[in-house]
Chain A
Amino acid sequence: MNSHFLAFDWKGFMAHFRQFDANSSALSYSFPPPTVVAGMLAGVLGIEKDEYYERFNRSNLQIAVQIVTPPRKLVQTLNYIFAKSANDLNMSGDNLHTQIPAELLVAPSFPRAPLHYRIFIKIAEAALAGELEEALRQSKFRYLPYLGSAPFTSWIEWLGVPETIEPAASTEPVIVDTVAPLPALELRSLRMEPLDGILPAFFREHVRRDFLPGREPGEVIDVVWEKNRGKIQAQFKAPVYRLRLGQQVCHVVFM
């Protein structure tokens, strides 16, 4: 089963992961939600838009995201084409625009350092796992990855196939390193006290877990992430995986 876990770093200087329920202000999530990671992986394998939803569904591909550098958000206003109907899209009419504030993510030390996310994936289908490992290990990308929006080019650094030590026991509080889905936490078990002397700051985001065939909207989940240390201490209902990457041990919970 170990061979079905993969890990890689995803880095870039700017990102935008639009919240699905905000379009008049293009607000961004602070991390790539599962649909973005799945779309990027499909791009890596060269699978066309709207053709991967079934193969990349939750039962086949599980995704966990670690926020290595908590992002800073900047707001810039973008000019979109003003289109009340599809005919207006070719700008043949009054050449009007509609202005949309868009949140962009950058690293706190931008532009000296890039944004950094660590992605862990767990794949059920061996063939898919093999294809992805091959592509990521050798950086053989059919489409270049970008962080949420086409202008934000990015790169992937292969970390390897993590060794699964064991799923951590859920009866005791665990410190996980990734964004955690709220339903995976035991009720009221989230620890609010300081960790290593630093008071945690938790944030909740409302993200879409996946798309159904035909890009029909799929499940929506609430996830929690922590800004100051990037670690969440709680008791979990869902399995928490202890993964070893070289000398490093990470605790991961999938979305």
Chain B
Amino acid sequence: MKEYEMLNVIADIGKIASGNSQGKLLDFLIPETAKQRYIVGIDFDMAKNSLAFNLLAEGGENGLSKQKLLEYLFVASERGNRPQFSPTSSNLGYLISQTLPNLVDFLPEDSELKKLLQKVRDRFFVEVQEEDGNKSTFILNEKLIPNASFHFAKKPEKLKDAIGAYAKELAGLIAEKTTAPAKETIYTVCVDGEPVAAHPDYQRFLWQQNSESAFEGGFSGTCSVCGTEAEVTQDTTRFVMKFYMTDKVSFASHFDEKNYYKAVTACKSCYQNIIIAEKWIDQNLRTRLGGFDVYVMPQMIWTEMEAIRLFRYLQAITREFNEVKNIASLREAERKAAERAERMGVFEQNAFIWNFLFFRKAQSAFKVLALIKDVPPSRIMEITRRTHETDDSRKKLEIPDNIVFDLDQIYRLIPLRRDKKKGFLEYKKVLQLYSCIFSGLPMRKEQLYNYYKQLACMHHFESYGLYLFKKPNNPDYALMADTLKWNLFLLFLQKLKIIEGESTMITNEYDAYFPNGVKEAFAELNYKEAQQGLALLGYVIGVIAYVQSEKENLKSKPILDKINYQGMSEEKVMRLFNEASQKIHQYRRHIGYAERWLALGKKLYETGAREELTADARVFYLLSGYSMNLLRTKPTAVTTETEEAEPVEDEVD
């Protein structure tokens, strides 16, 4: 999905976050913190006709505070090709070119600030044209800057590049004079020592741009958001989270672009609420799940709920979600039982519906990767419960703490291909899984086995470069850890009842002949006969592999190459049983009960519904057995977790 529709959800959040007071609009436009640590003033001294650079503010290690940013009205740059007008910016290029001339054009005729800036422009700026004469712009006169190289001595080929080079050089010069490193600096324009941002004319203009400019072509109509009759607009260009296409006439009623209003309009109050909400959501409802940025946006069943009470829980929603997605924080949250119980009480009433918006910001573009809508809180609680139960099973099976399953882990269990230009590909695989989990949609088990097989191939052939994963220290251990995680993942999905449940073998006359701990694993993970048979074969392969590497001092574990990681056909499984049998005889001095386990495995495999298993599923159960063995033989194994690279913040398809 490129864009989405939840206009009224966003407006509701804005209404609650602002306490329904749009007077706070400017507050919301300013970010809570900025990573930059310094504010440097570029001061135009009208009397002396000179420029000065002064360090005006300095933040701590965590950057500048909201208060400082508010003082200089530091707002995000205008997106795309829209003209820039903010006198406080981290982009020096804007400030030495278009910002002041734009402000002169935009400010109303009777504005004092307009007159003042007009003087600044005329005195400090010169008009420069591109070589081919197509573009021209005002540039801060280079001659006012001592020792500057002359970027505009002749008409530049490309204005944008020339301005970039000029800004870079100037930033270096400012850094020298103020000792504020360029990367950590926000610049603000001052005239005779007074910041332009503090001027009431500018503040009025900024307010107007964000709330009223869209209403220049306004008309009276019904607001699509709140339904009231009022002055409305169909201009939604300032919204970051685009929901409605207004640049293609095929989407307008009667193919007439004047008719977009027939679908979507917003009154002033809703418009401002949306502007506020977009900023607030970005700061308060943003989190990450499995390597993706996600907004957790609640929708209220009751619009009339008390704003203050709701506001508290609105913020708790992201916290709650952060706890649900990660088993470590879930455990931590359990310790704060009282606080959580109170929150759960509210969520249990299903007063919110949750919406998950997965997105990516690439420069100025906002791309929606997926929207999972209408998730009731009861579903989140169910997921929490099942995550806990799965973790309990893990503990019962004595699988160590570093091999866990939680929602965040899913992303590490599905290998996503990497592309040098586009970042990661195939992200829809993971998002589709999340969608099924949150919405309770059924999942195809065959597909899951196929994902597992790709992961197993990646570990075995060490083809990490193709995927988002970094090469682990010990690929064999990583394969074991990931296979066990996959077992827990499938168990979790079974518990959620979104894949077909596996019926357990209730009585098993062969229980006594299973290797230690394996019987419990089969019961806990709901393995059927044929699956148990394959897992036992895998277990025996683990025994043989151990003997090969430890006792026989072979450098590798040749038996593992007998497994076809691309998929095990029925014939290959039978051949593997025979080969395992031969190896047992070959290494009989070290092999213990392996022969018995193998015989049992073969019997179970042949009596079970083995024809139901796909070639991918056979790989999964074989390697599950192998992993169970590896876990037992290496109880103190070094924890070499599989590492994965964070997604590259590039364009994706």
Contact = CB atoms under 8 A, between A and B. Distances in A.
Given A21-B243, A22-B4, A217-B261, A98 B378 contact: no
Interface stretch (A82-90, A116-124, A134-142): A82-90
A96 B542 CA distance: 57
Interface string B449-473: 0000000000000000000000000
Interface of B: 1-5, 7-8, 221-227, 242-245, 247-251, 253, 255-256, 261-265, 299-304, 348-351, 353, 368, 371, 373-374, 376, 378-379, 441
Contact of B5 (A25, A88, A200): A25
20 contacts: A21-B5, A21-B224, A23-B251, A25-B2, A86-B249, A89-B249, A101-B1, A188-B302, A188-B304, A192-B348, A200-B350, A202-B301, A202-B376, A204-B301, A204-B353, A217-B224, A217-B262, A217-B265, A218-B222, A220-B227
A203 to B, nearest CB: 5
Contacts of B304: 187-188
B244 A22 contact: yes
A215 B249 contact: no
B2 A204 contact: no
A217 B221 contact: yes
B249 A201 contact: no
Contacts of A72: 441
A10 B258 CA distance: 35
A190 interface: yes
Contacts of A182: 303
Contact of A201 (B223, B263, B350): B350
Nearest to B227: A220
Nearest to A214: B262
Contacts of B227: 219-221
Contacts of B5: 19, 21-22, 25, 27
B254 to A, nearest CB: 8
B350 A20 contact: no
A240 to B, nearest CB: 19
A189 to B, nearest CB: 10
Contacts of B264: 20-21
A24 interface: yes
A19 B255 CA distance: 18
B248 A83 contact: yes
Contacts of B221: 216-217
Contact of A89 (B223, B225, B255, B374): B255
Contacts of A204: 299-301, 353
Given A24-B243, A89-B255, A202-B353, 12 more contacts: A20-B263, A20-B264, A22-B5, A24-B245, A25-B368, A72-B441, A83-B249, A84-B248, A202-B350, A204-B301, A220-B226, A222-B8
A201 B248 contact: no
A81 interface: yes
B229 to A, nearest CB: 10
Contacts of B261: 217
A21 B236 CA distance: 12
A207 B282 CA distance: 27
A204 B65 CA distance: 38
Nearest to A101: B1
Interface string A192-213: 1000000111111010000000
A192 B263 contact: no
A45 interface: no
Contact of B8 (A86, A190, A206, A218): A206
Instruction: Pick the 8 closest A-B CB pairs, nearest first.
Output: A22-B5, A201-B376, A24-B3, A24-B245, A83-B250, A25-B1, A220-B227, A192-B349
A111 B251 CA distance: 31
A221 B301 CA distance: 13
A101 B7 CA distance: 18
A97 to B, nearest CB: 11
A13 B5 CA distance: 25
Contact of A25 (B3, B7, B248, B253): B3
A80 interface: yes
A224 interface: yes
Residue of A85, A215, A217, A227 contacting most chain B CB atoms (<10 Å): A217
A204 B219 CA distance: 29
Residue of B225, B250, B441 contacting most chain A CB atoms (<10 Å): B250
A217 B264 CA distance: 9
Contacts of B302: 187-188, 190
Contacts of B242: 24
Contacts of B376: 201-203, 227
A159 to B, nearest CB: 29
A207 B174 CA distance: 56
Contacts of A221: 227
Contacts of A190: 301-302
Interface string A216-251: 111111101001000000000000000000000000
A221 B8 CA distance: 11
Given A101-B1, A190-B301, A204-B353, A21 B263 contact: yes
Contacts of B3: 22, 24-25
B536 to A, nearest CB: 38
A142 to B, nearest CB: 23
Contacts of B255: 83, 86, 89
A219 B229 CA distance: 9
Interface string A140-156: 00000000000000000
Contacts of B368: 25
A201 B303 CA distance: 17
Contacts of A201: 350, 376, 378-379
A22 B349 CA distance: 29
A220 B299 contact: no
A21 B241 CA distance: 13
A164 to B, nearest CB: 29
Nearest to A23: B251
Given A24-B2, A89-B250, A201-B378, A220 B224 contact: yes
Contacts of B348: 192
B244 to A, nearest CB: 6
A221 B441 CA distance: 29
Given A89-B255, A192-B350, A202-B376, A24 B244 contact: yes
Interface in A1-50: 19-25, 27
Given A217-B263, A220-B222, A222-B303, A203 B250 contact: no
Nearest to B300: A204
Contacts of A199: 350, 378
A72 B439 CA distance: 10
Interface string A70-112: 0010010000111111101100000000100100000000000
A148 to B, nearest CB: 15
Contacts of A206: 7-8
Nearest to A75: B1
Contacts of A82: 248, 250
A224 B379 CA distance: 18
A28 to B, nearest CB: 10
B401 to A, nearest CB: 33
B378 A21 contact: no
Interface in A142-183: 182
A80 B226 CA distance: 30
A23 B260 CA distance: 11
Contacts of A23: 244-245, 251, 263
Given A80-B250, A202-B353, A21 B222 contact: no
